[in-house]
Amino acid sequence: MTRSPGGGAVPTRIKYVGADGDGIGDHPDGSRLYVPLTVPGDVVRARPVSRRGDGWLAEIDAIVEAGSGRRPPVCVHFGLCGGCSSQHWDETAYLEWKTGRLAAALRRAGFDEPVMAPIVRGTPGTRRRMDLAVRRGTGTLLVGLHQARDSDIVDLTECAVLHPELFALIAPLRPVLSSLAAVRREASVEVNLLDSGPDVLLRSDGELTTRDRTKLTDFARALDLPRVSWALGEAMPETVCLLRPPVTMLSGVTITPPPGAFLQATREAEAAIIAAVLDGLPAKRPARARALELFSGIGTISFALAQRIRVLAAEGDEALVTACHNGINQAGLMGKLEAKRRDLARQPFQANELAGFTIVILDPPHGGAAAQMPPLAQAKVPTVIYVSCDPVSLGRDAAVLRGAGYRLEKVTPIDQFLWSARLEAVAVFRIGR
């Protein structure tokens, strides 16, 4: 174990907040201190606890002087729960920090003065995806979120981020999960709030027994859930109980997502993403113009695009592609929208394949689309619209486009991940002047 310098708490003034949401100050020996739960201008006594890069991760021992952007957090679990990192910020300062991170990442990519639309603000109590950790102890069952930088679980008694309909499931879940033989030591519960109600997926470390299945079915009936599914660890889920079709609407098309499917975290953010993508489509385009959408999921953006332009949607997850394909058939969109399975990390579209497209839209995972960017830049598709959930990976990938002669027309920040360090953004790039 690396010993911290001096061993005790030291005074420091927080100069700014970094990419992970930690305040950054100086140790008296000249090294950096990364201090979670601080804001710029805070003067704190901080206790170094472990090495981190060029400095030390530290804990607050005492707040000597509060910075002007500090406010009381809204949740009793804040500071321990790893779900939120920024509830202690004044909203104006918090939003400026998020947009500042995005602008800085784009400047590093070579776009000196990025044109930024006003940030779409997040709203408490609107998150429609819930991923709970479950751990059985001696006489107890913890259900909640992991602690910040720790594997321990915070047993949730309140949450200011989750939609109330999702949070209301936690209390009745506890006795059911506690009684299941399938939950030996650890489990997780993933819930998507669909238009038809909460869609529940249990992943356990033990096999589901016949009695377990009966209990889960009774649970679904008691809470009027459309579907409850189960999987052993990371195996493919199976349906335990289906009371009605688990469906959600995407741009007027009814979709049945697979259990645990990725949805945008809030409906408001989904609408803002779609609006920014559609706004980024070129006003003038060839009569037979085609768009390629990469990392298309269940079709969140695809179905909206198909109302404006012919679309090929590519996604690596077979279950998501199947859900999208079924929606296409039911909505009669054949010829306007095609869904195709393709592993874009191992088999990115090459420049010759991209030549026939007027527009490429990509919505990659947190790590970005590193494998796809070089052939995309080489192809010089006239318009590229990049939907990102991480300013760092967006900046890295945008630099490839900048090197190929693309200009950044506009970027729209969307605070989908409320009170966290993450930020959604939609960036529109055009080739040439």
Q: Give the chain's largest Cα–Cα span.
A: 70
Q: Cα(247)–Cα(258) distance, rounded to whole angstroms? A: 10
- Distance between CA atoms of residues 146 and 154, nearest Å: 6
Q: What tokens does 333 get?
A: 């969109």
294-333: burial string, b at 16+ Cβ within 10 Å, e else: bbbbbbbbbbbbbeebbbbbbbbbebbbbbbbbbbeebeb
Q: Which of 75, 81, 84, 389 is catalytic?
A: 389
Distance CA 355, CA 350 (A): 9
- Please give the structure tokens belonging to residue 395: 């900046």
CB 64 within 8 A of CB 44: yes
Question: What is the rounded CA–CA span in Å between residue 219 and residue 172?
Answer: 8
| Distance separating alpha carbons of residues 20 and 77, to the nearest angstrom | 19
- For the question of residue 75 being annotated catalytic, the response is no
Please say whether the beta carbons of 326 and 394 come within 8 A. Answer: no
- Rounded distance between C-alpha atoms, residue 399 and residue 408, angstroms: 11
Token couple for 222: 């008691």
Q: What is the DSSP string of 95-106?
A: HHHHHHHHHHHH
Catalytic residue annotation: 389
